[in-house]
């Protein structure tokens, strides 16, 4: 992957960059937020850090907006559980107490790969720890593939093309729990 070409293409599309994160900065972010950047995202952020158009500025460290972005997927599920009757069949019978519903959902999300915020409500899972994880759009219980991989997402989000061959699969990689929400293997809203 030619990261200089990717950066130049994204700059032409209007994205602004700061110098890339150092190895120590990458390590600190991962320790602070208890995840590991997938290799492609780590390489990209180490090369150049996008700092405009709502992209997460990882240099801000323990900044509340980053923590809020990381909490957003679970908070959104809880909103749908409380106000829209959302429940997943394999969680079992929906408890009467809302606190019990939130606990069950929280346990499921805790077992799932951590979603790392990229921009707005776009996330990339930290597992598997491999290049090529899809980028997901997460809005409450509505989860969708928003990019086949990081590069596909960036092209889609900023309306540009890197003109690179890179796909080795016909479908986005499945991600534990999150892909189930996308594919409909779970139940949607339940009264």
Per-residue model confidence (pLDDT) at position 170: 74
pLDDT at 191 over 60: no
Per-residue model confidence (pLDDT) at position 180: 87
pLDDT at 74 over 80: yes
- The pLDDT tens digits for 20-73 are 999 999 999 999 999 999 999 999 999 999 999 999 999 976 667 899 999 999
Q: Which pTM value belongs to this model?
A: 0.92
Per-residue model confidence (pLDDT) at position 168: 61
Higher pLDDT, 190 or 108: 108
163: Cα within 13 Å, side-chain hemisphere: 3
DSSP SS3 for 148: coil
pLDDT at 167 over 80: no
Kindly give the residue spans of alpha helices, DSSP state H, lying in 15-97: 23-33, 39-47, 64-84
Rounded-to-integer distance, Cα 45 and Cα 58, Å: 9
Per-residue model confidence (pLDDT) at position 185: 56
Structural domain spans, the chain = 58-183
Rounded-to-integer distance, Cα 35 and Cα 16, Å: 25
Rounded-to-integer distance, Cα 102 and Cα 73, Å: 13
Higher pLDDT, 65 or 96: 96
């Amino acid at each position: 992957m030619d990261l200089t070409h990717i950066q130049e293409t994204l700059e032409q599309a209007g994205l602004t960059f700061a110098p890339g994160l150092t190895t120590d900065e990458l390590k600190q972010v991962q320790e602070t937020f208890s995840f590991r950047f997938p290799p492609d995202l780590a390489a990209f952020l180490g090369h150049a850090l996008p700092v405009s158009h709502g992209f997460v500025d990882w240099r801000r460290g323990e900044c509340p907006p980053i923590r809020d972005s990381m909490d957003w997927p679970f908070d959104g599920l809880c909103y749908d559980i409380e106000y829209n009757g959302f429940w997943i069949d394999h969680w079992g019978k929906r408890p009467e107490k809302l606190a019990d519903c939130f606990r069950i959902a929280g346990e499921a999300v805790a077992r799932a790969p951590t979603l790392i915020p990229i921009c707005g409500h776009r996330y990339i899972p930290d597992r598997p720890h491999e290049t090529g994880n899809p980028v997901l759009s997460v809005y409450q219980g509505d989860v969708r593939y928003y990019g086949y991989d990081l590069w596909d997402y960036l092209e889609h989000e900023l309306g540009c093309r890197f003109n690179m061959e890179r796909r080795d699969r016909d479908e986005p990689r499945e991600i534990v729990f999150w892909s189930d929400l996308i594919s409909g293997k779970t139940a949607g809203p339940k009264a």
